[in-house]
Amino acid sequence: MRRYRVFVVIVAYLACCAFITIYSWAAKVALRPGHVIPLEKEPSRAEVKRMFARGEPDVWTGKDLETIGMPVGGIATGQLYLRGDGTLALWQIFNKHIFSGYGADNYRTYRPESPVDSGFAVVVSQDGKTLARPLDATFGTVEFQGEYPIGIVRYSNDEFPVKVASEVFSPFIPLNAKDSALPATLFHIAVENNSRKPVDVAVLGWLQNAVCFDSAVAVHANRRTQIVNEKGRTLIVHTAEKAPIPEGADAPREKIVLADFEGADYGDWKTTGEAFGTKPAAGTLQQQNPVSEFLGKGLVNTFLGGDGPHGTLTSPAFEVSRRFINFLIGGGSQQNQTCINLLIDGKVVRTAVGKDNEKLESYFWNVEELEGKSAQIQIVDDASGGWGHINIDQIELDDRPAKIQLGPLDTLPDFGSMTLAFAEKGAAAGAVQETLKAVAGQPWAEKLHAEENTAYPVNKNRSAVLAAPAVKLAAGEKRTFTFVLAWFFPNHEKGHEYANRFDGAPAVAHYVLDNHKRLAGDTKKWHETFYEDSTLPRWLLFRLHSTVCNLATGTCQWWKSGRFWAWEGVGCCNGTCTHVWNYAHAPARLFPELERSAREMQDFGEGYHEDSGLVGFRSDNNYAADGQCGTVLKAYREHLMSADSAFLKRNWPRIKMALEFSIKQDGNDDGLIENSQHNTYDINFEGPNTFVGSLYLAALRAGEEMAKEMGDAEFAKRCRGIFESGSKLSVERLWDGEYFFEVVDLAKHPKHQYEKGCLSDQLFGQGWAELLSLGYIYPPENVKTALESVWKYNWAPDIGPYNVEHKPERWFAREGEPGLFTCTWPKSTYLPDGVFYKNEIWTGIEYQVAGHMVAEGMVTEALTICDGIQKRYHPAKHNPYNEIECGDHYARALASWGVYTNLAGYEYHGPNAHLGFAPKITPEDFRAAFTAAEGWGSFSQRRKRDTQHQLIDLRWGSLALKSLAFEVPESFEKVKVNVVAGGSPLACQHTLNNGRLDITLNEKLILKEGQLLAVTIQR
């Protein structure tokens, strides 16, 4: 909220009138043939009405349920999905690096898989008959409603006397990162007697022991399952433990060498493709790093002709006649692509991959349960990129496992514990057995075990079950059963923050239940404040908050050291990349402590270069121009979201040096960076441009503000001077009348530039400046016109025609769907070798642009862009919670929060205890949640002809306030201001300038949870 425009959207759907003005002249522009994006594309009146209407939450049923996978684990504790039918899926909680892909394959329609068996069933007895149904798609009618973080699945069936609503979530409390990062999921299973007669109801819950999930095939160990009664609760506790190597009476038989690859050819093994050639390799191949630790003189090595070729090598059938299959393995680490498989009846029953290392290492499969079967070994090279090959040697059948370097059992990444806890005392084992007997024959019940303490070989999958004791429900009566699923896998390479606080899954479950009222209560309070208690369109709230779930996926980690670390997308592109995270605003506003840790421990810690001020963009030695400037902006944002100036004081010298690094790139202090600028499009811009340039100018403004606060007047002045020059020169040299372009010598730099193109991100830094209340960095009229041009030239209601002309590298939108292109050349020659990803649609850029549009009053356009994302991610097509770019759950999508805060015209300076709002949508009646450094709550505003009422309702934590700012209509030329907190009037001063009302309280106020601050402005 920086300035106050004459034009304010008063009645939502009147906004579409604005289009008429914008587009009356549009048809006059001469467009390049091939730029097949319509200039006229205002949404219909009905569409506008729908988008602006408050609406109801989406409820999905039927086929739509299949794509849904809503993250329901704690932040940075792995990735556990709640599927549309209420079952759990994915289960990526075992510290394995799961690479979700570079994007090309991610955007597809599929049902998330569940490799771990778990579930709930409701068992009812009525009139001497026992009926049971599992809580899944087979129940009958199933409805899913999921507004992150809370998923609700409703089950009903006319043939079944009870209906069920299952509420599933992990505690999620803004500003309380630790309680939002619990490796646990809560289930509130509400069962209601739908019939006219009493009914006895029991709820069963089960969970497979998946400890040693990946290593089970390669370790000699036992899994153990116990049913534990403690603290008035019953828990299934799954662990694993060492097992003795079978010896003595059961003497090991002589080993059988299946293949040593010492022959002149592959013998009776059969090859396909080119990768294996006609004979084993003699060692290292051409252009390959040294291959070592194979046996004898030959091995399988598919680097024949480099990584490019594919192929398979398959053994003849053999009998599995020993307990283990031992072999040596090296090469690539890609699942299913650079692997060795054990096939039975042609189906893969064991698989192993290399570690992106040429050295061969011992590995083994435990195949005890397969003894006597006929099997084949198949070696696969189905990869062409880096590490697209596999090395194998010395395959043996043996009764002893090879000595491998997996390390002791309790250090394995997937070693730990899992639990399913019932919040009360469960039924006794005997009673559970009786229930199981009563439901025998149902497929889900067949595999369940109710033994109280049992150990079994680690490669056996067993599911244990517990039961809530049967209770009688009268007709219409309802009862809620509370369960907690918890996991504890501390052996992540960098450790888990959660492991600092707990010693096992049972401890996590007990913590959740000991604090159940507060954890569930605060989570629901946030959900209610954000979704229910708001005037914003419900679909929009869904969309803007859905991306926050990325924090609870494989994209994010919170290390034992306290450092927040992230990929770009799940398992893809490491190092909390500064330029991708440049877009992510949600974590900073919801969990500022996580972002502060990334600044201090990475950007100004491990990735910081003391000598130069360079911030390695993946915590390395490499410079990204946008990431470097963005780091300064993030530092200022983290300061604004702090309760005091301690963060800024600690980091200021390094923040200043980081900015000076960018000033050095500028070279002559004129405010334009002209040299080579590596950036988020994975290329370098080679001339002045406003993508990096606006970030640079915004960083200078942030530097100026921080320098002033730190009493460094000289540096503040220097920043100001460079900023003013850069702002002026950008307009002089980079403005084409409609938008900002790049000045570059294409003869010298023919590739990767955008030159006269219209880049959607051309005002990225201006959008940042808006979010940090830094004001205009270019003249307002240029900013508005450029944003309108981005809409005009880059927004396509149907991306099809343009993508037929100009194919994208990756499709993140399909024909018929809307989207905002990264870059187009509406008026000049298309650059086929221009900036990478030019023809792609990235939700992160769309949110970035939409957020900025909101700030500029282009609310209809902004909502249309967000609605486009909502349409593309409808569950009929895609998982609505998984916005994809380079990998699943891509971090850039966290830009959505910028749209949200701009809709409220939110401005905040924690250390100054300043809070302001200027709603950009329905300012006459506005209500929305907000967060501050130490508290969050609800802001509402009501505007009438002569009065404007503001209410700040603090729902959680505390809020220090010394000054406030609001926007009033132009007609309010002189006002009276009345501030009341906790029922008492507060003395204050105010100033009114151009519709901006600044209020300064005489005394600093600390608003406490549950307290209200009311401001009445009287004209």
Q: Which residues bind Ca ion (CB under 5 A)?
A: 260-261, 275, 295-296, 298-299, 307, 381, 388-389, 393, 666-668, 670, 672
Mutual orientation of helices 859-872 and 843-855 as an angle, nearest 10°? 160
Residue with Cβ nearer Ca ion (383 or 1007): 383
Cβ-based neighbour number of residue 346 at 10 Å: 7
The string of DSSP codes covering 506-558 is HHHHHHHHHTHHHHHHHHHHHHIIIIIS-SS-HHHHHHHHHGGGGGGSTTEEE
Q: In whole angstroms, how close is the CB of 777 to Ca ion at the nearest point? A: 16
Q: In whole angstroms, how close is the CB of 391 to Ca ion at the nearest point? A: 11
Q: In whole angstroms, how close is the CB of 419 to Ca ion at the nearest point? A: 43
CA distance 831 to 873: 30
Residue with Cβ nearer Ca ion (282 or 986): 282
Residue with Cβ nearer Ca ion (388 or 905): 388
Tokens of 427: 């039924």
- CA 859 remoteness from chain centre: 26
Which amino acid, residue 601?
A: M
Residue with Cβ nearer Ca ion (172 or 387): 387
Residue with Cβ nearer Ca ion (87 or 677): 677
Residue 718 φ then ψ, to 5°: -65, -45
Residue with Cβ nearer Ca ion (630 or 687): 687
CA distance 599 to 605: 7
Contacts of 902 (CB under 8 A, 6+ apart): 770, 771, 851, 852, 854, 855, 920
Name 353's bridge partners.
Answer: 339
Nearest to 551 by CA among 59, 173, 48: 173
Residue with Cβ nearer Ca ion (58 or 262): 262
Q: In whole angstroms, how close is the CB of 338 to Ca ion at the nearest point? A: 7
CA distance 291 to 286: 11
- H/E stretch holding 714 reads helix 713-734
Q: Tell me whether strands 947-967 and 935-943 are parallel, antiparallel or unpaired.
A: antiparallel
Residue 52 φ then ψ, to 5°: -90, -15
Q: In whole angstroms, how close is the CB of 321 to Ca ion at the nearest point? A: 21
Residue with Cβ nearer Ca ion (552 or 722): 722
Q: In whole angstroms, how close is the CB of 617 to Ca ion at the nearest point? A: 21
CA distance 873 to 881: 8
Q: In whole angstroms, how close is the CB of 313 to Ca ion at the nearest point? A: 12
Helix locations, 418-504, DSSP H: 429-438, 443-446
Q: In whole angstroms, how close is the CB of 278 to Ca ion at the nearest point? A: 16
Cis-peptide into 149, omega within 30 deg: yes
Residue with Cβ nearer Ca ion (743 or 1012): 743
CA distance 863 to 584: 19
Tokens of 1018: 């009287």
Q: In whole angstroms, how close is the CB of 272 to Ca ion at the nearest point? A: 13
Among left, alpha and beta (phi > 0; psi -120 to 50; other), residue 887 is left
Q: In whole angstroms, how close is the CB of 746 to Ca ion at the nearest point? A: 20
Residue with Cβ nearer Ca ion (427 or 692): 692
Q: In whole angstroms, how close is the CB of 670 to Ca ion at the nearest point? A: 4
Residue with Cβ nearer Ca ion (72 or 313): 313
Q: DSSP label at 583?
A: T
Residue with Cβ nearer Ca ion (58 or 260): 260
CA distance 864 to 42: 9
Residue with Cβ nearer Ca ion (109 or 668): 668
- H/E stretch holding 596 reads helix 592-598
Nearest to 927 by CA among 600, 385, 541, 509: 541
Q: In whole angstroms, how close is the CB of 337 to Ca ion at the nearest point? A: 8
CA distance 909 to 911: 6
Q: In whole angstroms, how close is the CB of 691 to Ca ion at the nearest point? A: 16
